[in-house]
């Protein structure tokens, strides 16, 4: 994938976003899931479940067509689809796939119009693959971009919202086809109501939201993040196949993208995980004791996603920068709900593009939005 920016684009990295692939087929799914686990930073739901659903859809309907943001028609109706709720629930109450199509259909009824393409609202976890599944089953393109550039726990934490797209109308659907359509002026109110409905629907739901036209999608989306997710997975696969260092491959790989900076923050053994499902989220923290020459311990707090990493009390990375916990044996990302005592892990930090670090972006998904006291500091400016 080449990253070269067109002149005049809001996205300030010096990149142009040409998709690596024109379709997403069966052969792409393993890498897409691997990459989705990394960008999910612990959240977004288990990519494996989303991958299974996408594989079934592609086997029946053929590959999903990928539209770059550049080629998305100005007047195309684009809708974000995915799953909402605590990832801890999604692995016990496994979705069958229909509910995501029902969510899209419920929103289409509300809009009085059929959608022309779907877009992921987050890059990471099962929400990278669910839109691929929906695209394959509905014969629609999936747009190469998303609304978070990573995974975030709440729905107002989207660049779609930061840059002015209304979150409503939004459809929330359960596995029985019961549906709720929300109309509210504030994205936070939409999130608040949808979260309440999701809790009452058992903790995980299918959603469709942020209807917008193609021109708007181009302005407000994180670009090329579906390609990027696929690429991240390929760096891992290629390094494994070539028996080279996977962590180094990730660090080198990100350096060539609009994400730019990646670094190893810590290596150690999980000695404590406290996790509770509260207010519809998987909330808690993990303690990692250093091994392989790393001393002291790293504490990582999460709300579905990893939010902040401290090494012996010293800040090493903070939201919205990415904090990825990788299983050191498999060298694959570990989602929050699968963290286990005794696991050997490496912690990777990755910077997000500047567009996710503007004052208006940080107001929506910076540290204060998660109740953290300290200000955002870019990972590349933190020691280590």
Question: Which position among 119, 199, 239, 333 is part of the footprint of its own copies (CB under 8 A)?
Answer: 199
Give the shortest CB-140-to-its own copies separation in angstroms: 23
196 makes contact with its own copies (CB under 8 A) = yes
Radius of gyration of the chain (CA): 19
20 makes contact with its own copies (CB under 8 A) = no
Question: Which position among 33, 84, 132, 180 is part of the footprint of its own copies (CB under 8 A)?
Answer: 180
Question: Which position among 106, 107, 187, 288 is part of the footprint of its own copies (CB under 8 A)?
Answer: 106
Question: Which position among 9, 21, 65, 192 is part of the footprint of its own copies (CB under 8 A)?
Answer: 192
| DSSP 3-state of 168 | coil
Residue 274 CA from chain centroid, whole number: 23
Q: CA nearest 187: which of 215, 222, 142, 152?
A: 152
Tell me how far apart the alpha carbons of residues 305 and 87 are, in angstroms, rounded to a whole number: 10
264 makes contact with its own copies (CB under 8 A) = no
Closest to its own copies by CB, 126 vs 182, is: 182
Tell me how far apart the alpha carbons of residues 59 and 51 are, in angstroms, rounded to a whole number: 12
Question: Which position among 139, 164, 177, 296 is part of the footprint of its own copies (CB under 8 A)?
Answer: 177
183 makes contact with its own copies (CB under 8 A) = yes
Draw the binding track, 110-129, toward its own copies (x: CB under 8 A; -: no contact): x-------------------
200 contacts: CB under 8 Å, gap ≥ 6: none
| DSSP 3-state of 360 | helix
Q: Which helix (H) or strand (E) holds 170?
A: strand 170-173
278 makes contact with its own copies (CB under 8 A) = no
Neighbouring CB atoms inside 10 A of 323's CB total: 26
Closest to its own copies by CB, 102 vs 266, is: 102
Give the shortest CB-213-to-its own copies separation in angstroms: 22
> Is residue 125 a contact partner of residue 36, using CB atoms and an 8 Å limit?
yes
Give the shortest CB-104-to-its own copies separation in angstroms: 15
Question: Which position among 197, 207, 249, 300 is part of the footprint of its own copies (CB under 8 A)?
Answer: 197
- Contact range with its own copies by CB under 8 A, out of 184-192, 213-221, 227-235, 337-345: 184-192
Draw the binding track, 147-176, toward its own copies (x: CB under 8 A; -: no contact): -----------------------------x
Give the shortest CB-264-to-its own copies separation in angstroms: 42
Question: Which position among 201, 230, 251, 318 is part of the footprint of its own copies (CB under 8 A)?
Answer: 201
Neighbouring CB atoms inside 10 A of 128's CB total: 35
For 75, 143, 382, the CA distances from 113, given in Å and listed in that order, are 13, 18, 48
| CA dihedral over 340, 34, 42, 181, signed as positive or negative | negative
Closest to its own copies by CB, 85 vs 214, is: 85
| CA dihedral over 51, 55, 56, 62, signed as positive or negative | positive
Hunting for tokens 């995501």 — which residue is that?
Answer: 100
Give the shortest CB-93-to-its own copies separation in angstroms: 16
Which DSSP symbol is given to 247? Answer: H
Give the shortest CB-282-to-its own copies separation in angstroms: 20
Tell me how far apart the alpha carbons of residues 283 and 249 are, in angstroms, rounded to a whole number: 31
Give the shortest CB-110-to-its own copies separation in angstroms: 8
- Contact range with its own copies by CB under 8 A, out of 186-194, 229-237, 248-256, 294-302: 186-194
Tell me how far apart the alpha carbons of residues 117 and 142 are, in angstroms, rounded to a whole number: 6
> Is residue 125 a contact partner of residue 50, using CB atoms and an 8 Å limit?
yes
> Is residue 198 a contact partner of residue 173, using CB atoms and an 8 Å limit?
no
For its own copies, how many residues bind (rule: CB under 8 A)?
21
Sites of contact with its own copies (CB under 8 A): 106, 110, 176-185, 189, 192-193, 195-197, 199-201
């Amino acid at each position: 994938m080449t990253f070269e920016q067109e002149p005049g684009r809001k996205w300030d990295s010096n990149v142009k976003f040409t998709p690596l692939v024109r379709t997403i087929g069966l052969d792409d799914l393993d890498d897409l899931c691997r990459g989705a686990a990394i960008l999910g930073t612990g959240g977004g739901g288990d990519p494996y479940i989303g991958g299974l659903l996408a594989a079934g859809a592609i086997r029946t309907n053929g590959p999903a067509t990928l539209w770059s943001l550049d080629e998305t028609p100005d007047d195309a109706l684009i809708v974000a689809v995915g799953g909402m709720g605590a990832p801890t629930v999604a692995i016990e109450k496994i979705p069958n796939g229909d509910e995501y199509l029902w969510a899209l259909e419920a929103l289409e009824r509300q809009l009085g119009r059929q959608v022309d393409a779907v877009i992921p609202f987050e890059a990471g976890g099962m929400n990278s693959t669910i839109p691929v599944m929906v695209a394959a089953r509905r014969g629609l393109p999936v747009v190469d971009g998303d609304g978070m550039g990573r995974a975030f726990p709440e729905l107002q934490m989207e660049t779609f919202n930061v840059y002015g797209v209304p979150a409503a109308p939004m459809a929330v659907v359960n596995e029985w086809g019961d549906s709720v359509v929300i109309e509210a002026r504030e994205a936070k109110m939409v999130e608040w109501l949808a979260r309440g409905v999701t809790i009452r629907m058992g903790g995980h739901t299918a959603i469709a939201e942020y209807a917008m036209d193609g021109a708007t999608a181009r302005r407000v989306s994180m670009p090329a993040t579906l390609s990027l997710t696929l690429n991240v997975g390929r760096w891992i696969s290629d390094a494994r196949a070539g028996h080279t260092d996977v962590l180094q491959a990730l660090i080198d790989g990100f350096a060539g993208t609009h994400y730019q900076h990646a670094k190893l923050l810590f290596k150690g053994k999980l000695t404590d995980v406290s996790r509770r499902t509260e207010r519809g989220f998987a909330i808690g923290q993990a303690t990692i004791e250093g091994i392989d020459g790393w001393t002291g311990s790293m504490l990582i707090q999460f709300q579905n996603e990893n939010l902040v990493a401290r090494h012996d009390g010293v800040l090493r990375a903070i939201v919205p920068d990415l904090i990825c916990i990788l299983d050191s044996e498999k060298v694959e990302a570990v989602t929050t709900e699968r963290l286990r005592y005794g696991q050997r892990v490496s912690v990777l930090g990755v910077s997000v593009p500047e567009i996710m670090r503007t004052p208006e972006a940080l107001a929506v998904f910076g540290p204060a939005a998660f109740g953290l006291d300290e200000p955002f500091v870019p990972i590349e400016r933190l020691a280590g």
